[in-house]
Structure 1
Amino acid sequence: MIKGLYEAHLPVRNLEISIEFYSKLGLKFAWRDEDTAFFWIEEGKSWVGLWEGREYETQYHPSLRHIAFRVTYEDLKESLQWLKSIQVEAVPFGNRTSVEPFIRPHQGNASVYFDDPDGNSLELMCFVDVPDELKHITEKFTFGEWENLVSNL
């Protein structure tokens, strides 16, 4: 199921300074929002997420204990069954109550989350081909909702 590394995360104190630094390293800028920026490590395959904030200096920050593994779209659709078969429980992401894999159109990816025995956050993640007219949507969709939406375009 796992094909490679999708993303790794790093906490940073100043996002603007870090964006300049990672650009100098030759990494290609992918996208940003208010407190995060992503740079391609291998374009279309893996990236590094930079998370601005001082809280990581004094308390847990998700970027310190999280990685995502790259899988295919079809594998992600079957991920809950696969995790169950290896006796690993999926966990909800953020404010979500469902453990079902979900799609983020504005980022062009989909995910399901689980933890390792030490409580490190792990993720199975894939790229999703998003039609241009849907790339602005920040809402998260289940696979069924997404496939229905796309088929009605």
Structure 2
Amino acid sequence: MIKGLYEAHLPVSNIEKSIEFYQNIGLELAYKGKKVTFFWIEKGRSWLGLWECEEAQLPYHPSIRHLAFYVENEDIKKAKTWLEKREINVKEKFGFSQEQQPLVLANNPHTHAAIYFQDPDDNSLEFISPLMLDNEEAFEMMELKDWFNNHI
């Protein structure tokens, strides 16, 4: 099921300074937000999320307790069943219940399917699969089954 590490997250104290640093070492900017920015490590396969927070929060910021594993599109479709067979509960995320996952994230311009769960220490884990890169279509988050009904 797991093909690699899709994303890692780091807390940063100054998002603009960090953007400059990561561009300087050769990473391609994938998405820039007000307090969060993503860089491609390998386009379409792995990225780094940077989350701006107060320096006092740096040792405790939730971004340092999240990993996303890259999975193929065919595997994300069956990920919920795969997890349940291993007695791993899917977690509610972004207002979507366990039953509604996997879901499709509207991280314009990149579209991903994802499902969320936790390890025994409550670290946030995710299976994620890119659906479309450089997508210009705006949409709301939805269940993966609805995405495939509308895009296949």
Provide TM-score, normalisation by structure 1. Answer: 0.88
Q: Counterpart of 2:132 in 1: which secondary structure?
A: coil
Q: Counterpart of 1:91 in 2: which secondary structure?
A: coil
User: How far apart, in 2, do the equivalents of 1:117 and 1:43 lie?
Assistant: 31
- Cα deviation for residue 34 of structure 1 reads 1.7
Question: Are positions 1:112 and 2:101 aligned together?
Answer: no
Who is 1:77 aligned against? Answer: 77
Query: Are the equivalent residues in 2 in contact too, given 1:55–1:61 (CA < 8 A)?
Result: no
Query: Are the equivalent residues in 2 in contact too, given 1:11–1:56 (CA < 8 A)?
Result: no
Query: Are the equivalent residues in 1 in contact too, given 2:44–2:133 (CA < 8 A)?
Result: no
1:52-76 superposed Cα distances (whole Å, 9 cap, x missing partner): 1117627742201000000011101
Gaps of 5+ in 2: none
Q: Counterpart of 2:16 in 1: which secondary structure?
A: helix
- Cα deviation for residue 91 of structure 1 reads 0.5
Question: Are positions 1:103 and 2:124 aligned together?
Answer: no
- Cα deviation for residue 132 of structure 1 reads 4.4
- Cα deviation for residue 108 of structure 1 reads 1.3
- Identity over aligned pairs, percent: 43
1:66-102 superposed Cα distances (whole Å, 9 cap, x missing partner): 0000001110110011001111111011333345110
Q: CA RMSD for the aligned pairs?
A: 2.0
Gaps of 5+ in 1: none
Provide TM-score, normalisation by structure 2. Answer: 0.89
- Cα deviation for residue 144 of structure 1 reads 1.8
Q: Counterpart of 1:93 in 2: which secondary structure?
A: coil
Who is 1:94 aligned against? Answer: 94
User: How far apart, in 1, do the equivalents of 2:134 and 2:28 lie?
Assistant: 22
Write out the 4+ residue segments of structure 1 that deviate beyond 4 Å after TM superposition.
Answer: 130-133
